[in-house]
Structure 1
């Protein structure tokens, strides 16, 4: 059996994954980067150092019972998004490791965007891989990104994405973590805020701030701080935050579908593992959501993209493909 190695070094998670030539994810291991209590993030220099420490542990787990010669190709997240100028130092750690593996094993290295890996992982986790054959819309909501892209088939077999909408200020994941910080929740606050919001019986009628296809999310932080100052129950503050993000996502989805037609919609990224958002958007739009393991930062999508890119190259060269 041949395998494809995926490497992802996001701002808060070190991830390694393997998929086989049949397109099944065999291993998907990761370690979060530790953030000190009371802090809402990491400096890039600290993140790079922590990734280097994590790799020594993860590679032992990943390569157990696997010989290096069984790896056909390597995929790595080399930048946050597939646009010119997209850059974040922490991705250099993973790219450097991929380059070393590629040289030592004499295997090709396929560089992709972190966002493309998220979308691919969501497709796999949701059992929606056939969507790759035609255009679809994909939302990516995380700590550093809140945007929608139009995904179209590409000859390289790596996802071709074009941004069509986004947040003009605060990102959804930032809002979740900042509100979580107000409520004394540990960073990252996604799981705890979700659980807290589910305890609330309050319901809010929120009119999102939309400008064209884009949204503005800074209002959620201000309103939640006001609620905290007025002594509102923590679960109601959490519920308001989630419903605010959901209202913005709802408005953006509706406008994009009106403009682009009845395309499938995929929701990717750590924020999209929120149970309330997934239930609301899934019921209204029939969108595709992945389980939490494939929503949060992981290297599974990167490994799958390496497989597709390698198959495309072999197809061009007239060899057998893994299609």
Structure 2
């Protein structure tokens, strides 16, 4: 059995993996109503409180190895204090039981979890396209096998300003929803019978999403129905991601495409992408923040 830890900005997560089955325990962090996020100090505190309860809930034995996300992405300067909580717990567990600990990034964890959920883990042995869509990241990546890191993800297109998850959550908060707002906004959008034609703002393959927040605010101020605002925003994001993917395919070829990150669980995004491309999506529990990928990473590293 291998165990993984992930303490992202909004979810405390633990998972075990035996080479076949993932078991998980996780807790979404609490954000006060009307607020659009957490300070890092508050996130660290909540992770610290959540971790002992989740460890007890999962009831795991001594692992063969421990995996943990210690940074958002595998690039220089990528750092968030909240990841220290998971790293500290993983370090203690590794040391006390004298088992290896393997460090990776939150992004790699997301990609591996998505591959597992889609039953496509064999893609780690070839080149493929991955999208990481969340509150902190809206990136298209070329992913390739790597002897040291299992996979190497290189950004080839991204949002130059607002991230997809930020657009979702800011719209949701404006509509009176509790942060994070993705699931509620998705459900609300299904009540709308409007269809929107969107022209994404693109430049050299990158996208800009700042306009969608301003448009949503204007729609709300004009008294437009909340479900129509929700559908507009999610359609805008989906069409933008579709344009990004089209540009990546044109440049790098018709490679397998895998979607990860919380925004990738949105039903409208999945519908639009699946109508146009042959893409793999993770189940919701493996799209949203989770530690499954870090447990898988420990397994893959330990069995090299």
| Same fold? TM cut 0.5 | yes
**Residue 67 of structure 2 contacts residue 294 of structure 2 at CA under 8 Å; is this kept in 1?**
yes
Rounded to whole Å, the distance in 2 between the matches of 1:174 and 1:239 is 16
Find the counterpart in structure 2 of residue 39 from structure 1: 35
The one of 67, 85, 98 equivalent to 2:61 is 67
Aligned residues: 304
CA deviations on 1:13-66 (whole Å, 9 max, x unpaired) are 00000000x3421x1110111111111111000100100000110000112xx4
After superposition, residues 36-185 of structure 1 pair within 5 angstroms as 36-63=32-59, 66-68=60-62, 71-156=63-148, 158-185=150-177
Q: Is residue 241 of structure 2 the alignment partner of residue 249 of structure 1? A: yes
My pick for the range that moved more, 158-167 or 9-18, is: 158-167
Residue 113 of structure 1 deviates from its aligned partner by 0.3
RMSD: 0.9
Residue 194 of structure 1 deviates from its aligned partner by 0.2
Find the counterpart in structure 2 of residue 11 from structure 1: 9
Rounded to whole Å, the distance in 1 between the matches of 2:163 and 2:100 is 35
**Residue 23 of structure 1 contacts residue 304 of structure 1 at CA under 8 Å; is this kept in 2?**
no
Rounded to whole Å, the distance in 1 between the matches of 2:169 and 2:61 is 40
Residue 201 of structure 1 deviates from its aligned partner by 0.6
Instruction: Give the secondary structure class of the aligned counterpart of 1:231.
Output: coil
CA deviations on 1:79-126 (whole Å, 9 max, x unpaired) are 001111100010011111111111101111100000000011111111
Instruction: Give the secondary structure class of the aligned counterpart of 1:147.
Output: strand
**Residue 120 of structure 1 contacts residue 305 of structure 1 at CA under 8 Å; is this kept in 2?**
yes
Residue 280 of structure 1 deviates from its aligned partner by 1.1
The one of 254, 257, 260 equivalent to 1:262 is 254
Flag as ranges the 4+ runs of structure 1 deviating above 3 A: none
Rounded to whole Å, the distance in 1 between the matches of 2:282 and 2:113 is 8
Unaligned runs of at least 5 residues, structure 2:
none
CA deviations on 1:262-301 (whole Å, 9 max, x unpaired) are 1011110000100111111022111100110000000001
Instruction: Give the secondary structure class of the aligned counterpart of 2:214.
Output: helix
Instruction: Give the secondary structure class of the aligned counterpart of 2:32.
Output: coil
Rounded to whole Å, the distance in 2 between the matches of 1:157 and 1:80 is 15
Residue 241 of structure 1 deviates from its aligned partner by 0.3
Residue 157 of structure 1 deviates from its aligned partner by 5.6
Rounded to whole Å, the distance in 2 between the matches of 1:130 and 1:157 is 15
Unaligned runs of at least 5 residues, structure 1:
313-323
**Residue 72 of structure 2 contacts residue 80 of structure 2 at CA under 8 Å; is this kept in 1?**
yes
CA deviations on 1:228-251 (whole Å, 9 max, x unpaired) are 111111000000000110111011
**Residue 75 of structure 1 contacts residue 98 of structure 1 at CA under 8 Å; is this kept in 2?**
yes
CA deviations on 1:204-254 (whole Å, 9 max, x unpaired) are 111001111210000000001111111111000000000110111011000
Residue 67 of structure 1 deviates from its aligned partner by 2.8
